[in-house]
Structure 1
Amino acid sequence: SYKKPEVAEQFKALKPDLQVMAFVTLFVPEEFLNIPTYGSIQYHPSLLPAYRGASAINWPIIKGEKETGLSIFWPDNGLDTGAVLLQKKTPISDKDTLGTVYFDRLFPMGVEAMLESVDLVKAGKAPRIKQDESKATYEGRCGPDNARIDWGKPWEQIDRLIRGCNPAPGAWATINGVKLKIFDATPMPAKDPKGIAGKIGEVVAIDGDGFTVVCADGRFKVTRVQADGPKVSAAEFASTSKLATGTRFA
């Protein structure tokens, strides 16, 4: 724990110039942050002050944002409230998942941004831009309770939820008493929602590519899922679980 005096003393003995915090899951008190000569800098995967907190990549996708990014900031005793050193932006496409946004962009961008930040600190040119509290948002952790699919919602909301929870925590729904996580599903919006055949949450087709489920204003072709074991194709799940058309998600 960073709150233990002996830990702080051990850190002081190193005579650090700068503490670089790339991935932080524990609270670090301000007294500890101030031990290095030039303080501490931290990576956060959102454009602060928006989306403070532990699930800063999930929520922008789920809420339909068109852009996100990363911040390198000077942490303090608040939750992602410290002054900003620099930020980088990246668009969110209608195909992006949590995985693509992070692994393809925010992670490599973050490495470059952290190196750039260290150089700025070293050169004595690192800014401290105060966050605008009037624009601050905090959504909390995106967990299983947030990831349940309501097939009665519009297709756009369901699509964003599935993508924003892929790979974690995994958007899910229950069918035949089985909690089924859905990772890949293609939306098929209806031209006329009133003309959709089938009931909300009903499996209306099964083929070699997966199965099709009805939502409020269209359908989804589900292609990759996970029940109790590893991720499998939706077609394999349908076969092994003997899924039949007409079955409805609970």
Structure 2
Amino acid sequence: MRIVVHGQQAFGKAVLERLLERGEDVVAVCCAPTKEGQPEDPLAELARERGVPLYQPSSWKTPEALELMKSFDADVCMMAYVLLFVPKDVRDAPRYGTFQYHPSLCPMHRGPSSINWPIAMGEKRTGLTIFWPDDGLDEGPIMLQKTCEIGPDETIGDVYFNKLFPMGVDAMMEGLDLVKAGIILKHSQDLAAGSYEGWFKKEIARIDWSKPVDEVYNLIRAANPAPGAWTEIDGQRLDIFDVAKSDGSGEPGEVVEVSKEGITIAAQGGTILVKRVRAGKAPKVAASEFAETAGLKAGNRFTLQAAE
């Protein structure tokens, strides 16, 4: 079966690696163009290393892009982490069409930050979807889904790299095997029952210490390692990463304790032990180190977002 891999970054590379290990006939690799001054995409690097024809059109909305996809004479296109919109005629050019990976249980949490949002919302389960994309935003008939738990202390990095990434590569291979077997699964989905969330941007990751402690804790987990939850003290911006819920109480935003373990800060109904931080554009450091350098002490107050 002639396969086109369309994707980018580490996930696209992992899918291509697995296909080549299996001895699959990958006739082309497509990914976004390399931006000036930026390193080459890992998927593009692997394609060059392994001698797989590489194509990097800046848009798939042109007649030339359609002719390019047709020229591959492919049986199927596998979309592994794609950000460029691909129109229907291009998706349908391979004999069996195009299927795609998305790291959420569609139709829930469609959108570009589909891993952050379930964690921020305190959900205990997420998963991935392999689907046949249409022209909607992460919409289309579902081929298969896999689920996983979100642990009470897991961050976005934990959920993605330890669960959704490896599960996703396996699921892409499972989808390919279904197509090769002539089983073209296309289950309809009730989009009205789903949700679409936009980018989990830096402004969303600003901490409001007046919120309930569980809500603050989930926000920090959802932003670790990116985009990084943040707060302010005495006009200085501080990104917060590794944390743990701790026993204690205080006024929201109050530094309850500074110890070798870190900085304990009060939210509504509890406290959070902050273990690792980054001040401005400085490197990440232990929270205890920052506290010592900044002269941070119990009784100091972090800014409440709600007060601004």
TM over 0.5: yes
Using structure 1 for the length normalisation, give the TM-score.
0.94
> Once the 2 structures are TM-superposed, how far is the Cα of residue 204 of structure 1 from its aligned partner?
2.3
Check if 1:216 corresponds to 2:274: no
Note if contact 2:255-2:299 (Cα within 8 Å) is conserved in structure 1: yes
Counterpart contact for 2:65–2:90, Cα < 8 Å: no
One of 286, 294, 304 as aligned partner of 1:233:
286
Task: State yes or no: 1:131 paired with 2:189.
Answer: yes
Q: Which amino acid aligns with 1:92?
A: I
Distance 1:45 1:226 in 2: 28
Distance 1:116 1:24 in 2: 19
Give the letter for the 1:226 counterpart: R
Tell me the secondary structure at the aligned position of residue 47 of structure 1.
coil
Higher relative contact order (CA 8 A, sep 6+): 1
Counterpart secondary structure, 1:94: coil
* 1:102 maps to 2:165: no
Q: Which residue of 1 aligns with 2:106?
A: 48
Is residue 161 of structure 1 aligned with residue 219 of structure 2? yes
Contact 2:101 2:168 in 1 (8 A): yes
Structure 2: how far apart are the matches of 1:134 and 1:199?
41
Q: Give me the whole-angstrom Cα distance separating, in 1, the residues matched to 2:188 and 2:87.
A: 19
Aligned to 1:91: 149
CA contact (8 A) 1:185 1:221 kept: yes
TM-superposed deviation, 1:199: 2.5
- Partners of 1:189 and 1:29 lie apart in 2 by 53
Q: Map residues 114-193 of structure 1 onto 2, 5 A cutoff.
A: 114-190=172-248
Q: CA deviation at 1:19?
A: 0.7
Q: Using the alignment, how far apart are the partners of 1:81 and 1:7 within structure 2?
A: 22
Q: What residue identity is the alignment partner of 2:82?
A: V
Q: What letter corresponds to residue 109 of structure 1 in structure 2?
A: M
Alignment-mate amino acid for residue 249 of structure 1:
F
Q: Which residue of 2 aligns with 1:193?
A: none
Q: Quick one: which of 238, 244, 248 aligns to 2:297?
A: 244
Whole-angstrom CA distance in 2 between matches of 1:38 and 1:237: 56
What is the aligned partner in structure 2 of residue 207 from structure 1? 259
Q: How do 1:14-29 residues align onto structure 2 when only pairs under 5 Å count?
A: 14-29=72-87
Residue identity in the other structure for 2:226: A
When structure 1 is superposed on structure 2, of 237-246 and 100-109 the one drifting more is 237-246
Tell me how far apart the structure 2 counterparts of residues 178 and 126 of structure 1 sit (CA, whole Å): 55
Distance 1:142 1:48 in 2: 18
Amino acid at match of 1:10: L
Q: 1-side partners of 2:146 and 2:226: how far apart?
A: 24
Report the TM-score, using the length of structure 2 for normalisation: 0.77
Deviations 1:65-112 (A, max 9, x none): 111000000011111110000000001110111001000000000000
Measured in 2, the distance between the counterparts of 1:189 and 1:160 equals 17
2:129 maps to 1:71: yes
Any conservation in 2 of the 1:155–1:219 contact (CA below 8 Å)? yes
TM-superposed deviation, 1:189: 4.6
- The C-alpha deviation readout for 1:166-193, integer Å capped at 9, x for no partner, is 1111111111212111111111255xxx
Deviation at 1:241, TM superposition (A): 2.1
Cα shift at 1:244 = 2.8
Deviations 1:37-57 (A, max 9, x none): 110000000111101100110
Q: Runs of 4 or more off by more than 4 Å in structure 1?
A: none
Partners in 2 of 1:12 and 1:133 — Cα distance?
Answer: 31
Q: Please, which runs of 5 or more residues in structure 2 have no aligned partner?
A: 1-58, 304-308
Q: Is residue 239–residue 277 contact of structure 2 (8 Å, CA) maintained in 1? A: yes
Structure 2 counterpart SS, 1:130:
coil
